[in-house]
Each structure stands twice: as C-alpha cells, then as structure tokens.
Amino acid sequence: MAFGFRSDRARDEEARRQVDAHVADSVAPGMRIAAAWSWRVLVVAGVVALVLFLVVQLRYIVVPLLVAMLLAALLVPFSNWLQRHRWPRWLAIAVSEVGILAILTGLIWLTVRTIISGYPALVDQTLLRWEDLKQFLLDSPLHLSADDINAWAEGFLESLRADTSALWSSALAFGSGLGHFLAGLLLVLFATLFILIDGRGIWNWIVRLFPRNARAALVGGGEAGWITLSTFVRVQVLVAFIDAVGIGLGAFILGLFYGGFPLVIPIAIVVFLGSFIPVVGAVVSGAIAVFVALVFMGPWQAFVMLLIVIGVQQLEGHVLQPFLVGNAVKIHPLAVVIVVAAGGFLAGIPGALFAVPLAATLNAIIGYIARGDWRTHPHPSVADVIPPTRGRTARDR
C-alpha cells in the first residue's frame, strides 16, 4: 500500500511538471521577460512609495536633517582644515558653526532691512510704471480699452497668486508655525554640531545595523557619497557667489540706486541665495533683478539688465556648470532639470533645493557599490569618486 501511494504521488508530480512545462512553452519568451521585469519594477516602486510616504509624514524631522547635512558637508572640510593648522578641535568646530550662522544671519538681516527701507519707494514706482504702461497701451495701435487692460491685469494677478500659493505651500508646510520653525532650527543646529563632532561615528553606528557582509560596501559607498556631497556644496557656493557678483556688478554699473537706496545689495543677495535652487532659482532671481531695474530706472535700463542676467546665466550654464558642477555631480543636464522639476512638484521649494544633491549623492553611492570598487578601494578618495576631466580612462568616460 505504501509503495502504491508513493507511485501515485510520483505520477501526480510528473503530470504537474509536464503541465508546467507545457504552460511555460506556450508563453512567449518576451512575455516571460516582461513579467519578470514587471514584478521587480512593482517591488521597487512600492519601496520608493513607502519611503516618500515616510518622508512626508516625518517632514518636520527630515527637512531639518537634510539642511544639517548640507551645512555639515560645507563645514566639515573647513573644520578639518583648521584642525590641521593646529586649532583645538572644539574651537575649530565652534568657529565653523558660529561662523556660518553669523554669515547667514547677516545676509538675511541685510536683505530684510534693505527691502523694508525701500518698500514704499518700490510700491510708488511700481504704480507709476503701471500707469505709464496703461497709457502706452491705450495710445497704441492695438485699440485696447481701459476695461480690457484692467481685466488682463486682474487675470494675471490671479494666476500669479495661485502659482505663488502652490509654490510656497510645501515650503511653509514644515514651518507653518513659530513652534515648528524654532524646533526645526534647533534640530538643524544640533544635528550639524553632532555631525561636526562625530560624523564618522554616527555613520559607523548606522552601518552596524546592516548584515556584516554588506558593511564594507556601505562604508565605502557612504564615503563616496559624502565626498560627492561636499564637493557639490562647495562648488555650488562658488557658482552662487560668481552669479551674485556678476549680476550685482551689472546693477552697480547701471547705477541702480533710488534716493540713496542701494538696490544692488538686495539684488546680489537674492541672486546668491536663489542660485542654490538649480534652474528655478536663477530664473526667478534674474526676473527680480530685471523687474527692479524696470520699476526704478525704465525699460531701456531693464533691457540692459536683462542682457546682463542672460550673459551671467550663459556663463554659468556653459562654463561653470559643465566644468565645476557637472564634474562634481556627474548627472546629465537633462536629468538635473527633470530631478528639479520632480522635486519641486513633490515637495515645493525644499524638494527643488534638495533634489540635485540627493540625486548626486545616491548616484555616487550606487555607482560605487555596483562597480565593486569597495573591494579594491574600501576608503575612496576624491580622485576615486571625482576623477579629473583630463586623463580619464575609457571606462570613466
């Protein structure tokens, strides 16, 4: 009986194998490949969706931590440089964090003070230019009426308010109240301080949460990503400074003053801060510079200001970005535009700000681990992660 039962079971298994083989043969190879890719894509999409959901739910923590990472990527090399020049470690860390706070506070205070001082003049001049524009349109061959002009202006202002509200909604979501803002600011300061004090120890603790066989790759990948992030932040500061100096110098040559009110200073600061948001920041800050020139000086000066802005942005796009930022980020310009657009769509201004450095860091980490460089270079250097443009091998290109 037992022998007969085993024989029946063997026949059933053989029949099932034959059916499975027949079904497999009846499915086209392309369909099998598509099915294999489909479930893997669904798994990856599910993981990405889960990560994005957690980021949105924890945005009060995630956004300050990302800001702290950017600040630390800028300050850690400076702090290490001070320590190499025999500064005490605690003093180098204190000077680094207090110095960046002083610089940012000074820029914000100077911008706000200058804008408040010149706001009444800006409003008066804007209204005056608007009346001039209305009169020009009424006298033009277009045969426009005052009602047509007013209707067009109301529609434009309504669309501008809608776009501005959508743009700022995500940016203000994590700081809608004074309590959220102060909590986020304190988290940024403490996180930056602890990264300066023991950043490598924090990363080693995170790595120990993973299986032992994966730790070597994670350590090297983390160091490759940190090198990329630090290089990107330093290069972006340099590019923002060059943009601000170029456009600010152009405004100074045009004599962009009004009643002793130095319009050059807020324009240069806005350009500097806006340059940290790729693509979008340059367009918005340049438009502000042209608008201020139009309001306070006239259309011809505004046209010259537009040429200056375009010239500086062309210098950035064709010289600075390819040779400086492009070498640090290693992402195609089209991919940068897509990443910034996706980040802005998903998270507003914070998304556009963090999109490129996050993509560059992940690209460096994934590329380092996928190439297997951690087997031969467990602790990558700058030359390993960002090789010079000249002398690259065919594999690097």
> Is 272 or 151 the better-scoring residue by pLDDT?
272
Average pLDDT over residues 247-265: 74
Confidence of residue 326 (pLDDT cuts 50, 70, 90): low
Tens of pLDDT, residues 161-181: 655 555 555 445 444 556 677
Tell me what pLDDT residue 302 has: 82
Tens of pLDDT, residues 46-86: 988 888 888 878 888 888 898 899 999 889 989 989 988 88
Look-up of token digits 């001039």: 132
Least confident of 29-33, 162-166, 365-369, 382-386: 162-166
**Average confidence score pLDDT of the chain:** 77
Q: Whole-prediction pTM value?
A: 0.71
Q: Nearest 5 degrees, angle CA 64-CA 65-CA 67?
A: 65
What are the E-state strand segments in the chain? Answer: 257-258, 261-262
Tell me what pLDDT residue 269 has: 85
Tell me what pLDDT residue 324 has: 65
Tell me what pLDDT residue 390 has: 45
380 CB contacts (<8 Å, ≥6 apart)?
220, 223, 224, 227, 368, 373
Tell me what pLDDT residue 394 has: 37
Inform me whether the pLDDT recorded for 23 exceeds 60: no
> Is 282 or 393 the better-scoring residue by pLDDT?
282
**What single DSSP character describes residue 396?**
T
> Is 38 or 279 the better-scoring residue by pLDDT?
38
- In DSSP notation, 293-304 reads HHHHT-HHHHHH
What are the E-state strand segments in 145-291? Answer: 257-258, 261-262
- In DSSP notation, 262-316 reads ETHHHHHHHHHHHTTSTTHHHHHHHHHHHHHHHHHT-HHHHHHHHHHHHHHHHHI
Tell me what pLDDT residue 373 has: 78
Tens of pLDDT, residues 330-363: 677 677 778 877 887 777 777 878 888 888 888 8
Cα separation, 381 vs 228, in Å, equals: 10
Confidence of residue 397 (pLDDT cuts 50, 70, 90): very low
